[in-house]
Amino acid sequence: MTQSKWVVIPKLNPTATVRLLCLPYAGGSAAVFHRWSDRFSREIEVCAVQLPGRSTRLQEAPFTSMPLLVEALASALHPYLDKPFAMFGYGMGALIGFELARYLRKSSGALPNHLFVGGRQAPQIPINSSPSYNLPEQEFISALAALNGTPTEVLESPELMELILPLLRADFELAKTYIYRAEPPLDALISAYGGQLDAELTREGLEGWSVHTSAEFKVRVFPGDHFFLHTKQLSLIRAIESELAAS
């Protein structure tokens, strides 16, 4: 399996029995999952999705429309769906993974055998916060700082902020302008993960994902805030690996 501009495979593993397609949070890139291959068993090949507007695709315009992104992503991922696959999406990536699974069901009949969603409440539950993507620059930076996911040295660097602000605004717009439309549940297992101290995510928000599967559903809460993806990375990977082995 060759890599493409859409997919980064940190460690090619042709003998793997399942591919894990990983979708990052707003502002994130495939680099978020760079070390995951070293921590999963040989049964799992980690395939990190590289969205436009970041890293090696910095010169490409990021998407601000979910339907357009999902259509392009489904086409780009087609060569990677020739064996059983699962998806892990975090934050914005959880929404993308969910909509991608529904799009694939309609367009090709392909379905992940397991959809993992983290750091994001169920898509049918409205988020009661004002849009931040179109705030004046300093207000937008303050909103970023409150999320506790951007390093202080980045927030305090005018040069770095000039580089990443357009991407962050685009990603926030993609997530905030997302419109949920009801469809039948997926015939795929869903696991919803959250951080115990995530002020933006409730147990009810996680449980809400249950209506989107006709198969098994699980919820797990990890110690930490919204970015437990980083602070509890090994525990998260072990949970995913255990559930993949059981599915």
pLDDT digits 0-9 by tens, 107-127: 999 999 999 999 999 999 987
Q: Which residues contact 136 (CB under 8 A, 6 or more apart)?
A: none
Mean pLDDT within 63-71: 97
From the centroid of its chain, how far is CA 90? Answer: 3
Looking at the domain assignment, is residue 43 inside a domain? yes
**How many structural domains compose the chain?**
1
Looking at the domain assignment, is residue 168 inside a domain? no
Looking at the domain assignment, is residue 242 inside a domain? yes
- Domain limits at 118? 7-126+182-246
Q: Of 7, 186, 22, nearest to 80 (Cα)?
A: 7
Tens-place pLDDT, residues 178-231: 999 999 999 999 999 999 999 889 999 999 999 999 999 999 999 998 889 999
Looking at the domain assignment, is residue 212 inside a domain? yes
From CA 205, how far away is CA 194, in angstroms rounded? 9
**What pLDDT does residue 19 have?**
97
Looking at the domain assignment, is residue 159 inside a domain? no
> Tokens 């995510």 label which residue?
201
The set of long-range contacts for 78-83, using a CB threshold of 8 Å and a minimum separation of 24, is 78/108, 79/1, 79/4, 80/1, 80/7, 80/19, 80/21, 80/47, 81/108, 81/110, 83/16, 83/17, 83/18, 83/19
CATH number of the CATH domain containing 89: 3.40.50.1820
Looking at the domain assignment, is residue 211 inside a domain? yes
- The token pair at 19 is 């591919």
- Contact between 117 and 192 (Cβ < 8 Å): yes
pTM, rounded to two decimals = 0.91
**To 10 degrees, the CA torsion angle through 226, 230, 233, 236?**
20
Looking at the domain assignment, is residue 160 inside a domain? no
**What pLDDT does residue 2 have?**
59
Mean pLDDT of the chain: 90
Looking at the domain assignment, is residue 59 inside a domain? yes
